[in-house]
A and B are shown apart, each in its own frame.
Chain A
Amino acid sequence: MYGFQGTLVRTKPKPVSPKLTRSFRRRAKRELLSPSALLPPHPHPTDGMAPPAPNPPKSSSPSQPSGKSEVTDLKLQLRQLAGSIAPGSDDSRRELFKKVISFMTVGIDVSAAFSEMVMCSATSDVVLKKMCYLYVCNYARSNPDLALLTINFLQKDCRDEDPMIRGLALRSLSSLRVANLVEYLVAPLTSGLRDSSPYVRMVAAIGVLKLYHISPSTCLDSDFPAMLKSLMLNDPDAQVVANCMSSLQEIWNLEAGNLEEVSREREALLSKQVVYYLLNRIREFNEWAQCLVLELASKYIPSDSNEIFDIMNLLEDRLQHANSAVVLATIKLFLFLTMSMADVHQQVYERIKAPLLTLVSSGGPEQSFAVLSHLHLLVMRAPILFSSDYKHFYCQYSEPSYVKKLKLEMLTSIANESNTYEIVTELCEYVANVDVSISRESIRAIGKIALQQYDVNAIVDRLLQFLEMEKDYVTAETLVLVKDLLRKYPQWSHDCIAVVGNISSKNVQEPKGKAALIWMLGEYSNDMLDAPYILESLLENWDEEHAPEVRLHLLTATMKCFFKRPPEAQKALGAALAAGLADSHQDVHDRALFYYRLLQYDVSVAERLVNPPKQAVSVFADTQSSEIKDRIFEEFNSLSVLYQQPAYMFTDKEHRGPFEFAEELGSLSLDPDTVENVIPVQSYGSSDNDLLLGSFEKEDGRAVANNDSAYSAPGYSTSLIPDADFLNLTTPSIPSQPSSVLVDLLGLGTPDTPPPPALKLNPKGVLDPGSFQRKWGQLTTTVSQELALNPQGVAALAAPQALLRHMQGRSIQCIASGGQPPNLKFFFFAQRDGETSSFFLVECLINTSSAKAQIKIKTEDPSLSEPFSALFQSALTELSPS
C-alpha cells in the first residue's frame, strides 16, 4: 500500500550518511504565485530556506506486518543496543525507535518492548528521548505497572540541564494519566512552575491542569492554583500567562460547587485588576491566547461607561486582526459591554459590519460556515444591520452546500421592503439552477419571505410559476408553501386554487407536498370542481399510500369536503372511514374512529369542529423561545451558535465550558410549559393541529423540536367536548392563569392583586454586579412565571426608567437592564430586611407588544420565594405612568 517499502526485518539497521540524505532532500517549491510561464521570473534566493525536508527512513515494512515475530525481533535488537556507546549507536537506535513508533501508529501492539525502550532511553539524544516519551505516554495508561518503571528516568530528565528536555519530560510525566503515580508529579510540577525557562513553565502550567484531571484533591491540596495565579500575574512570557489562565479557568469552573472560596476565586479571575492586566498586555499574546483573554474579558462587568469606552478604544484595532477567531471574540466583547447602552450598542453593530463581511469571504469554507452562523445570530437581533449588504450573501456556484444553506437563511432574515425584490429574484435563480437540496431550500426561503409580508403579490406569482416547471421536488415544496400562504393570506385563494387545481395528484409523490395538496382539496372543495372525485381516486389507492401523514390528511380533507358538498362526497367519506378504521397506524385509526363516533353523535357538532369559519393565521409559531435565543447569544463565539442550541443541550455537565452562567436555565427551558410562549394563534379547528404547529420546525431538524407531537392525543380528547373549539380560541397558551388572561382580554386592566406580602425588604439593599452574577450562577430558580401587565403599565414602560424608579420605591433595585422595545430585559435584586438579610434575584423579561412579563426569581432562602414572588408581581402590576 503506502509508505514503507523494502523489508520489515533487517538484522542490522544501516545508518544513512548525512550527505546522502541531504542531497535527496526535496526542493522547496519556488513559485509563490501562479506558476505562470509568461511571468518574468522573480529573482529567487538560492537554497537556504528550504523547509527541513522530510527524509523518510525508507527502511521498513509491508504495510500490515503480522506483528508478533517483528516485535520480538525489535526487542532483541533494542536489547543489543541498550548499553552500547559505540559511535553511531544513537543513529541505529533512532531507526529502531522510529520503527516502533510506526508500528504503534498503525495499531500493532508493541507494548511488549516496554522495558527495552526504557533501557535505551538513557541517552542524551533529544530525538531519542522524544520518541521514547511518546511511546511511554501511549502505553502507560494500559500498563500502569510498567509506567512505574519510567517514573525514575522521567523525574531525572525533569532536572536535566537542557530546558527542552526538562519541558518534554515534564509534559510526558503529567500526561501519563495513571492515578497512583500522581505523588511523583507534585514535586516536578512545583519546580517546573519556578523554572528559569519559559518553555518549562508553559508546560508546567498546563501540567497542573492535567494533574487536576487525574486527582483534583492532590492538585488543590498542593496549592497549585495559588501558584498559577501568581505566575499569571507576574510571568514575563505571554504563553505562560495564557496557559495559567486556561488552567485556572478550567479548574475553577469544574470546582463550581457552592464553596464560598471557589466562587471567590472565580470572581477574582474576573476582577478589574486581572482583566486590565491581561488586556493591557494583549498585544504580546499569540492569536489563540488573545481569544482567551477576550473571552475572559467579555465576562467582566465594568462599573461605569467610561470603563466601557476605555476597553473598547483599547481593543478596537483587534477588529483588524487576520485571525477570524480574534475578530469574533472582539465583537462578542463589544456587544456584551454595550448591552445596556442602546445607542452605543447600535454603533458597535455599525463598526463590526465591515470586518464581518470580510470574514465571510476570506478563509476556507468551514470558516465562512462558522462566521455565517454568527452573522445569522446577529441578524436575528438586528435585522436592519445587513439589509443593504444583501449581495454579499448571494451564493457562488462552487461553494459547498452548507455555506449556501446559511447564505439562504441570511437572505431570508435580512429581506425587507427595500430589498425583497432583488433577493427573491436571486432566490428564483437558485430554484432553477443549482442542486436539488439548495433548490428546495430556496423555495422555502422564498416562502418564509412571503410570510414576512413583504411584496407578497410578486412572490405568489413566482411560486405559481414554479408549479409550471414540472419538476417533482419543486412542485412538492411549492405546494407546501402555497398551503402556508393560503392560511395566512386567504385573499389569494382564487389565484392559487386555479393553478393548483391543474396539478394532477399523480405527479406529486412526496408526502409533504401530497399532504399539502390534499389539505387544499379539502379546504377549497367549493372552488375546485373536481375535489370530491380527486379525493375519491386518491382513496382508491389508500393501501399504496405509505406516509401516515398523507392518510391523516386524506381523512380530514374528505370530512371537510363532505360538509361542503355532501351528495358528491358521501361515497368518498364512507370509503375513507372504512379504510381509516382498518388502518394499522394508530393515529390514522384513532382519527377515523373519532370522526366516525362524532358523526354518530351529532353531525352539526362534527361540522363545527371540522369546518369552522376560516380565520387567517397571523403569525406562525416560532420554535425557539426568546430565552433560548438569548442563551445562545450569551454563548456567542462557540459551538452553541453553530448548533443553534445552548451548550447544556449538547455537552455533559462535566464538560461545560468555563464560567457557564445560569445552568439551570436548561431544565427550565425544556419544560414544555415555558417553551410554549407561542404567540396566540387562532386555530382552524383541532383537526388541523398538525398544520397549526407551524411549518418551520418540521423542516428544521436543527431546531429544538419540542413540538413534534403533531398528532398527539390531547388535541383529540379536548375536541370531544363540543365547545372545545370555542375554548381554544379564548384561552390560548396560558393555562396557568386563566383568570388574569380573561380579565386582560376583557380589557379591564385590573389584575387580581395577590394577598398583601408579609415580607419586609431592606430599602437600602446593596449588591455589586460581580456578586450578582456569581449568585445568579449559583442559585437555582425557585419561581418562574409569566404574567400579564396592565395597559397603563405598558404605557409607562415607554421610558424604562419609570419601572426602575417604581420598583425602587418598593425596595427592589435594578442592577442591569437592556433590550429594545418590544423586548426589554431587567435584572433586579432585593435584600430582606432583618437578621438573615438574604438576597432575592430576579430576571424579568417584558414584551411590551404582548403586554406580558416573564419573571424568574432566585433566592438564597427558598422558603421566602413565594412571598417575595407575590410582592414582586404586585409591584410589577401596579406600575402606571407617573
Chain B
Amino acid sequence: MAGAVSALFLLDIKGRVLVWRDYRGDVSAVQAERFFTKLLEQEVDPDLHDPVVYDNGVTYMFIQHNNVFLMTAARQNCNAASIFLFLHRVVDVFKHYFEELEEESLRDNFVVVYELLDEMMDFGYPQYTEAKILSEFIKTDAYRMEVTQRPPMAVTNAVSWRSEGIKYKKNEVFLDVVESVNILVNTNGQIIRSDVVGALKMRTYLSGMPECKLGLNDRVLLEAQGRSTKGKAIDLDDIKFHQCVRLARFENDRTISFIPPDGSFDLMTYRLSTQVKPLIWVEAQVERHSRSRIELLVKARSQFKIYSKLHNCSTATNVEIEIPVPSDATNPNIRTSMGSASYAPEKDALVWKVKSFPGGKEYMVRAEFSLPSITAEESAPDKKAPVRVKFEIPYFTVSGIQVRYLKIIEKSGYQALPWVRYITMAGEYELRLM
C-alpha cells in the first residue's frame, strides 16, 4: 500500500510538539498533541504501548530517540514497515547534521529542520533520505561559505547515493567487520538459541566515482572458482546489502561490487544460525542464609582460544556482567578475583566489570547482601532477570569471515588505502539463573 503520510511531528519527551511539518493539511497539530500526551500519561513506560496507535481516523506511528519522539500521522492505509524505516532514516539524517538528535539540537536548528523535512518528504511521499545527497539541497548550514550555484547533481546522475566531484587529499577506506553474538541459556545450562549477526561497516573517504570490489572467504564463491575451501571458507545464511551493491552481479557470480556512498554506511549484513559456543560462560550460585542474608558466588570463564589466526593473543575487553539481586538488598560486601564489582541499585543488579579478560581464564566474584528481615506481605512479583553479559573481542570473528581483498579503482588512478578491522561483541547475551 503506497499510502501517504499526512504530517510529521517532532515531539519532546512529554509529547509536546517541538516542530512539525504539515504535508497534506488533513490532521491538526493540536489534535495530535492532545492525543499523544494523553497516550504518554496513560503509561509511564513507553515500551508498553504499540508503536502504532489509532485514534479517530488517524494512525500515529512513532519512534523514540533520546528525548525526542518522531511521529507520523496518516489518514491513509500506509506501509508501516516503510514508515518506521523512514523515521529511522530521519534520525540518521538529523544526527549527520546536528551530531546528535535531541530536543536542544532541534531547538537550535529550526530552519535546517524544516529544510530537511521538506526535502525528505513531499506531500507525504518519501523523497531523498541520504544525508550526503540532501546536503545538495540544504543551504542554511553552509551559509557562511560560498553558496555553490551548481544544480543539484544527485538527481541528474544514475548513482543516486553519491554525488560527483568529491575530492580528498588522502584516499582511504575503513572497513569494520562487526559480529554480535546473541545467546540465550536456560536454567539448566543448555543453550536454547544462539545466532550471530554480522555487519560490514564502511567509512569511505574517496575522491571521484570509485569502483570497489570486495572479496570474502565465502564458500559458495570459492567453490565456484574451483579453489580449495578447506578450513577457511564460511557459509553465510542471509545476506543483505546496501543499495549501492550490484545485487544482480552478486546473484550471478557472488562478486560484491559497488560504487560506495561518501562517508559511513553498512555495506552488508549477514546472519549465522549455527550453534555458537558461548564465548564467556557465567555460573552463579545464590544462597539465601536465613531470611536476612543472601550470598552470591559468580564464576565467569572465557571459552575462546587464546591464540587466533588473526592476532596472536585474543582478549575480551570491557567485559561487563550484570547479575540480578533482590530489589530490597542492602549492605553489599563484594570481593573479586579480577576487575571491580559494584552494586547498582537502580538496575537491581551487581555489576562486575573486567577491563581485560584473556582467553581460557576463569575469574570469580563473591558478594553478600543483607535483606530486610521483615518483608511486605504483598511484595511486587519477583521479576527474575537473567544474567546479562557485555564484551568485545577485537581481532576475532565467530564466523571466521575474512576479507580477502578490497580493490578500489577510480579513473584518475589514485592509490587508496583500505583499513580492515575485526571485532566480536555481545549482542543479546543472556543466561537465565536457576
A contact set with B: CB distance below 8 Å? 2-4, 18, 21-22, 26, 28-29, 32-34, 36, 38-39, 42-43, 45, 48-49, 51-56, 94, 98, 101-102, 105, 125-127, 130-131, 134, 141, 162-164, 171, 177, 197-199, 202-203, 206, 209-210, 213, 237-239, 242-243, 246, 249-250, 283-284, 286-288, 291-292, 295-296, 316-318, 320-325, 328-329, 354-355, 357-358, 361-367, 369-371, 373-374, 391-392, 394, 396-398, 400-402, 426, 429, 432-437, 439, 471, 635, 637-643, 647, 650-652, 655-658
CB<8 Å pairs between A and B, sample of 7 = A34-B392, A53-B141, A322-B266, A358-B271, A364-B84, A398-B428, A658-B1
Asked if B81 and A325 sit within 8 Å, CB to CB, the answer is yes
Q: Is B363 an interface residue when CB atoms closer than 8 A count as contact?
A: no
Please give, as numbers and ranges, the residues of chain A lying within 8 Å of B47 by CB-CB distance.
400-402
- Which B residues are CB-close (under 8 A) to A357? 238, 271
B403 to chain A, nearest CB (A): 15
CA distance A853 to B50 in the complex (A): 38
In the bound complex, residues from chain A placing their C-beta under 8 Å from that of B54 are: 643, 650
Are A366 and B84 in contact, with the CB atoms below 8 A? Answer: yes
Once bound together, how far apart are the Cα atoms of A82 and B242, in whole Å? 48
Closest to B144 in A: A18
Least Cβ–Cβ distance between B20 and chain A, in angstroms: 9
Q: Name the distance in Å between A691's Cβ and chain B's nearest Cβ.
A: 29
Q: Cβ of B240 < 8 Å from any Cβ of A?
A: yes
Contact A38 B356 (CB under 8 A): yes
Per-residue CB contact flags for chain B residues 155-166 toward chain A (1 = under 8 Å, else 0) read 110101000000
Find out whether the CB atom of B108 lies under 8 angstroms from the CB atom of A354. Answer: no
CB distance A317 to B250 under 8 Å? yes
Residues in B with CB closer than 8 Å to A324 are 81, 85
B342 CB within 8 Å of chain A: no
From A18, A38, A432, contact of B317 by CB (8 A): A38
Docked-complex contact B383 and A434, CB < 8 angstroms: yes
B1 close to A635 (CB less than 8 A): yes
In the complex the two chains form, is B111's CB within 8 Å of A101's CB?
A: yes
C-alpha gap A426/B184 in the complex (Å): 11
Decide: B160 and A651 in contact? CB cutoff 8 A: no
State the B residues within 8 Å of A (CB): 1-4, 18-19, 24-26, 47-52, 54, 57, 59, 61, 63, 74-82, 84-88, 96-99, 103-105, 107-112, 114-115, 118, 122-123, 125-129, 131, 135, 137-145, 147, 149, 151-152, 155-156, 158, 160, 168-170, 172, 174, 176, 178, 182, 184, 186, 192-193, 195, 197, 201, 203, 205, 237-243, 247-248, 250-251, 262-264, 266, 269, 271, 317-318, 355-356, 381, 383-386, 388, 392, 394, 419, 421, 423, 425, 428, 430, 432
A322 to B186, CA, bound (A): 32
| Contact B168–A45 (Cβ < 8 Å) | yes
B76 & A177 in contact (Cβ 8 Å cutoff)? no
Out of A292, A394, A432, name the residue touching B2 (CB < 8 Å). Answer: A292
Question: Which residues from chain B contact A426 at a C-beta distance below 8 Å?
Answer: 192
A52 touching B138 in the complex, CB below 8 Å, given contacts A3-B107, A321-B241, A651-B77: yes
In the complex, which residue of chain A has the Cβ closest to the Cβ of B78? A639
Is A2 touching B107 in the complex (CB atoms < 8 A)?
yes
B80 with A370: CB separation less than 8 A: yes
Closest partner residue, chain A, to B178 (CB atom): A33
Flag if B184 contacts A652 (CB, 8 Å).
Answer: no
Taking CB atoms, residues of chain B closer than 8 Å to A163 are 151-152
Which one of A322, A373, A392, A439 contacts B243 once the chains associate, using CB atoms below 8 Å?
A322
**When chains A and B are docked, how far (Å) is the Cα of A54 from the Cα of B106?**
10
Q: Are A638 and B248 in contact (CB under 8 A)?
A: no
> Is the CB–CB distance between B144 and A639 below 8 Å?
no
Inter-chain contact A54/B125, CB cutoff 8 Å: no
The answer to whether A43 and B110 have CB atoms under 8 Å apart is no
Check A391 against B192 for contact (C-beta < 8 Å): yes
Q: Out of A54, A429, A434, which one reaches B186, CB within 8 Å?
A: A429
Which residues from A are CB-within-8-Å of B97?
Answer: 51-52, 54
Is B123 in contact with A206, judged by CB distance below 8 angstroms? Answer: yes
> Does B135 contact A364, Cβ atoms closer than 8 Å?
no
Q: A320-B250, A322-B242, A635-B77 are in contact. Are A162 and B149 (CB under 8 A)?
A: yes
Contacts of B430 in A (CB 8 A): 396-397
Q: Which residues of B contact A434 (CB under 8 A)?
A: 383
Bound state CA distance, A641 and B74, in angstroms? 16
Closest chain-A Cβ to B303's Cβ sits at a distance in Å of 20
A36 adjacent to B79 (CB under 8 Å): no
Question: From residue B163, how far is it (CB to closest CB) to chain A in Å?
Answer: 13
Closest residue on chain B to residue A105 by CB atoms: B110
Given contacts A287-B243, A328-B81, contact A322 B174 (CB under 8 A): no
Separation of A361 and B272 alpha carbons in the complex (Å): 12
Using known A-B contacts A45-B168, A53-B99, A366-B63, determine if residue A361 contacts B271 with beta carbons closer than 8 Å: yes
The answer to whether B158 touches A284 (Cβ under 8 A) is yes
Residue of A nearest to B48 (CB): A401
| Extra inter-chain contacts (20) besides given A134-B114, A284-B160, CB under 8 Å | A32-B264, A34-B318, A54-B98, A54-B105, A98-B111, A126-B147, A198-B156, A202-B155, A286-B160, A325-B79, A328-B81, A357-B238, A361-B271, A370-B81, A391-B192, A397-B430, A433-B384, A639-B74, A640-B1, A652-B75
CB-based contact A429/B243 at 8 Å: no
Contact indicator B158/A286 (Cβ below 8 Å): no
Lowest 6 A-B CB distances belong to which pairs?
A: A638-B1, A325-B82, A56-B108, A3-B107, A317-B247, A288-B126
State the Cβ distance, A630 to closest chain B Cβ, in Å: 16
Q: How far is the CA of A250 from the CA of B156 in the complex (A)?
A: 26
Report B-chain residues with C-beta under 8 Å of the C-beta of A21.
Answer: 144
Q: Which residues of chain A come closer than 8 Å to B104, judged between CB atoms? A: 2-3
| Bound Cα distance A657, B205 (Å) | 42
- B155 near A237: Cβ-Cβ < 8 Å: yes
Q: Which residue of B lies closest to A356 (CB)?
A: B238
B77 pairs with A3, CB closer than 8 A: no
B143 near A51: Cβ-Cβ < 8 Å: no
B353 to A: closest C-beta gap in Å:
13
Report the Cα distance A210→B140, complex, angstroms: 26
Judge whether B76 and A651 touch: CB under 8 Å: yes
Complex CA gap A641/B79 in Å reads: 10
Given A32-B174, A324-B81, A367-B85, A126 and B139 contact (CB-CB distance below 8 Å)? yes
Q: In the complex, are the beta carbons of A239 and B128 less than 8 A apart?
A: yes
A512 vs B368: C-alpha distance when bound (angstroms): 43
Complex contacts, A650 vs chain B, CB 8 Å:
54, 57, 59, 77
Most buried by B among A45, A203, A639: A639
- Chain A's closest residue to B127 (CB) is A239
Minimum distance in angstroms from B128 CB to a CB of chain A: 7
Task: Tell me, in angstroms, the Cα distance from A242 to B61 when the chains sit together.
Answer: 24
How distant is the Cα of A43 from the Cα of B417 in the complex, in angstroms? 11
User: Is B122 touching A203 in the complex (CB atoms < 8 A)?
Assistant: yes
> In the complex, are the beta carbons of A362 and B85 less than 8 A apart?
no
Contact B263 A49 (CB under 8 A): yes
Asked if B140 and A321 sit within 8 Å, CB to CB, the answer is no
Q: What separation, in Å, do the CA atoms of A354 and B250 have in the docked complex?
A: 17
Q: How far is the CA of A439 from the CA of B423 in the complex (A)?
A: 37
Q: Known: A130-B139, A363-B85, A364-B88. Is A394-B192 also a contact (CB below 8 A)? A: yes
Verify B4–A171 contact, CB threshold 8 A: no
State the CA gap A401–B48 with chains docked (Å). 6
| Bound complex: CA A657 to CA B5 (Å) | 11
Identify which of B143, B247, B266 contacts A94 (C-beta below 8 A): B143
Are A317 and B251 touching (Cβ within 8 A)?
A: yes
Determine the distance from Cα of A396 to Cα of B185 in the docked complex, in whole angstroms: 11
* Residues on the A chain within 8 Å of B144, using CB: 18, 21-22, 55
State the CA gap A49–B77 with chains docked (Å).
40
Task: Pick from A33, A203, A363, A373 the residue with the most CB of B within 10 Å.
Answer: A33
A657 near B1 with CB under 8 A, answer yes
Known: A134-B114, A286-B160. A355 touches B238 (CB 8 A): yes
Which A residues touch B88, using CB under 8 A?
A: 363-364, 367
Residues of A within 8 A of B122 (CB): 171, 203, 206, 243
Tell me if A51 and B155 are in contact (CB < 8 A).
no
Q: What is the CA–CA distance of A33 and B425 in the complex, to the nearest angstrom?
A: 10
Q: Which residues of B contact A56 (CB under 8 A)?
A: 108-109
